[in-house]
Amino acid sequence: MTNKQREAYICAHASFDLAALLSIARAIRQKDCICDESQRPKTFCLQEGTASEALLSEAATLEYFGRLVVSPSQSSISSTGNNDIGIPYILMSKATGVPLRTYKWDDDQIHSTGPGCDQKPAVLACSQKEKVMKQLGEIQAHLSNVRFDKIGSLFLKNGSYITWKCLYPALTWQGRDEFNEQDIPRGPFTEAKSFYLALIRVLLADVKELPVGHHLFHGPVPVPQECDNFRDYRTAIDRWNDYVAIGSKTESTQNTLDYALVGVALRDNVPLLAEKDNRIKCNGSPLCHPDLSCQNIFVDDQFNITCIIDWAAASSVPPSMLLVCPRLPHPRNGIQLYLRKAFADGFVAAHGYNGEKDLHFSDNSSFWALCRVANLSGLQDHVYFSQLVDSCIGREVHSHIRQLRDREEYKAFSRILLAYEIEEEGHSKEEKNYLSCVFRERLMLSQHLTMISDINRDFVADKRLWKWMQQYLNDRDVYMYHTNGGNNTETR
């Protein structure tokens, strides 16, 4: 009996003709090429049509901006599977340098101390981070001086470059490209207002029709920066998971209503955001790389940026969005003031927006917060929304939310959603499976917190709660129990 040969890891997600791929590469490089078949490619889910458009747009963007920004050059492309390889593909030159993620961006970031964690990456000095951020400001400045008449992604059609359908992440990633374009417009947009409204519409469609994963509006996910050590971080994550599991909160009607409320608030602020765009004296919309992170920025040993990759979701955007300082190591992270200044200095030094003097970099945190909430690409939507409300209207978020609940459009949305709500008896199967693995004390704590959240609609399970719980449990162990001959005895 013969055993079927196991398919190479490189074909884990899609079978293709590796020999044909190497043949094309050999013809381009004029020498033999090899491929490590033990690699397991990363996955990224897009509809077939969207994936083809992303390849074509990335190729057009790289060709158009190749001399303006440091990016790989393309050698061969096929946007469909009708080729010798059998799948859509794009071949590019290898990026020089190393990914910025080779280094540790923040020296206060918490890491596990378990097995295999002995080798820690070198921590970047403040001066090195400033150098990187200033260069990003210069790159954004160069992009700001090439503008298009519409907001959309770049394509090559009939020998001419045009802005066409917008492939911005909020409109296409995480299953959003499944929505009908009659319901969710994808441009090209002729004005900033239409673009912002499209982001809000797709957010509302997402929370109504797609799984929202870890996004609980009134329960931001704990992050390492909020904790004193890795143990406290892991404990906070466990308690957050326990709390969310009770009643399957992320997929609950109440969570959907909370995000509907966010949509109402975002729509109210669209005129203000569009007004900020109008303050910048420029015609047209500049191109933006919407996913800058330490994974797609390459540097040499002197921290000069040598290449930026992953331009598939690049799109022209309203002018103010190019003034948003990139957040590293990931777009959802915070940013220190000195790095924001380094970015602004680089942008101004490179004569961004043709040397426009009256640029307000500090006013653009609202655009960053809008993108994080609309994309559902972060971990702490309540935090982002609070920042946006404070930045746009200078109000405290809880009082603003209470006021929005009295709006008729929110009440109408609530009536429609509640009419379709399916009453479930007891716990769902997934909830039962999770709770069966949780210690009784953890379960009781989560049930108590859930009762509080049911009573108080303003209740937010955030970093303050997890720190308070940890302190309470620590104090309880100290004052209620003492060691007596090696046995823990309850004190009364």
pLDDT per residue of the chain (492 residues) written in tens, 0 to 9? 344 444 556 666 677 888 888 888 888 888 888 887 777 776 667 777 888 899 899 999 998 987 777 788 777 887 777 888 888 888 888 888 999 999 999 865 565 555 555 567 889 999 999 999 999 999 999 999 999 999 999 999 988 999 999 999 999 988 888 888 888 999 899 999 999 999 999 999 998 888 888 999 999 999 988 888 888 999 999 999 999 998 889 988 899 999 989 998 999 999 999 988 888 888 999 999 999 999 999 999 999 999 999 999 999 999 999 999 999 998 888 888 999 999 999 999 999 999 888 888 876 788 889 999 999 988 999 999 998 898 888 888 888 888 888 888 888 888 887 776 655 445 566 666 676 666 777 888 888 899 999 999 889 999 999 999 888 877 776 666 555 444 544 433
**Residues 6 or more apart whose Cβ sits within 8 Å of residue 139:** 69, 70, 305, 308
- Residue 485 within a domain: no
Q: How far apart are CA 183 and CA 206, in angstroms?
A: 12
- Residue 248 within a domain: yes
* Separation in Å, CA 379 to CA 266, 334, 340: 18, 12, 22
- Residue 278 within a domain: yes
- Residue 459 within a domain: no
- Residue 469 within a domain: no
- Residue 429 within a domain: no
Residue 183's domain comprises 48-106+121-419
Closest C-alpha among 98, 93, 104 to residue 299? 98
Tokens at 272, concatenated: 């203000």
- Residue 217 within a domain: yes
Measured at the CA of 57, the angle between CA 53 and CA 58, to 5 degrees, comes to: 120
Tokens at 75, concatenated: 């050698």
- Residue 384 within a domain: yes
**Number of domains forming the structure of the chain:** 1
